[in-house]
Structure 1
Amino acid sequence: MLLVATDAAISYGQVSSTLNPCISYASGNGANPIVACCSRVSSVASAARSTADEQVACKCIKSAPGGLNAGNVADIPFKCGVNIPYAISSSVDCSKIC
């Protein structure tokens, strides 16, 4: 499934591949995300400059594969010191990000 907004500068594929280093922590391994994960989360947050970009990033993160620890996934931005304008959860409505 490809989630791309017409006015977004980033794509689902870019977000997904960029966040690969976070999979281990998101799966429940380790007490904290690795440095590469935090660096990548920061780069996605920086690249998401418009509402459309934020919505694409949100939809991509929300559609992550099953088997991930929801608490760990939600904690990644906080543990990495990266501010994002939405909570990471399965119930977030990405279309309401503005």
Structure 2
Amino acid sequence: MAYVKVITCMAMMICMMLISSPMVVNAISCSEVIEEIEPCLEYLRGGSSAPSRECCDGVNRLNHIADTTSARRTTCECLKSAAYSISDLNTNHAEELPRRCGVKLPYRISTSTDCNRIRA
């Protein structure tokens, strides 16, 4: 009987902890964004006429990871920052990348994109 009371008490404590714990928000970091687009560098520099399979897989993963307004804005800002740091960036390839990978983004990959206007 005491065993049942202990188990019941523990179960109630676990339930209370779950109910009272704050919701965890999945955030994306710039390092994750860079890691996913790293295989795209050759294409983004104009060294190849089409993005690689690994590149498109990364673009696809980014699109799935960044599924909230906040995450999409963060991803956009990271992509803009990365674009400024890529020497010999082919801006046409950057803007065409999602389409070439079969991914529909709600914004253009461009240094002129206003990331604050993005909605999920």
Q: TM-score, normalised by structure 2?
A: 0.73
| Aligned-partner Cα distance in 1 for 2:27–2:67 | 8
**Counterpart for residue 94 of structure 1:** 115
CA shift at 1:37, angstroms? 0.1
Aligned-residue offset at 1:8: 5.7
**Change beyond 3 A, Cα 1:18–1:43:** same
CA distance in 2, matches of 1:96, 1:8: 21
Alignment of 1:38-77 (within 5 A): 38-64=56-82, 65-66=85-86, 67-77=88-98
1: distance between equivalents of 2:93 and 2:67? 25
- Structure 1: distance between partners of 2:64 and 2:54: 15
Q: % of aligned pairs identical?
A: 36
> What number of residue pairs does the alignment pair up?
92
> 1:2-46, CA deviations, whole angstroms, 9 ceiling, x for partnerless residues?
xxxxx6621111101111000010000111000000000000000
- Residue 33 of structure 1 aligns with an amino acid whose one-letter code is P
Residue 41 (structure 2) aligns with: 23
Asked which structure has the greater CA Rg, the reply is 2
Q: Unmatched 5+ residue regions in structure 1?
A: 1-6
Instruction: For residues 26-68 of structure 1, give each alpha carbon's deviation from its aligned partner in whole angstroms, at most 9, with x where no partner exists.
Output: 0001110000000000000000011010001101111121421
Higher relative contact order (CA 8 A, sep 6+): 1
If the length of structure 1 is used for normalisation, what is the TM-score? 0.88
Aligned amino acid, residue 115 of structure 2: C
Q: Describe the SS at the equivalent of 1:28.
A: coil
* Distance in 1 of aligned mates of 2:72 and 2:41: 20
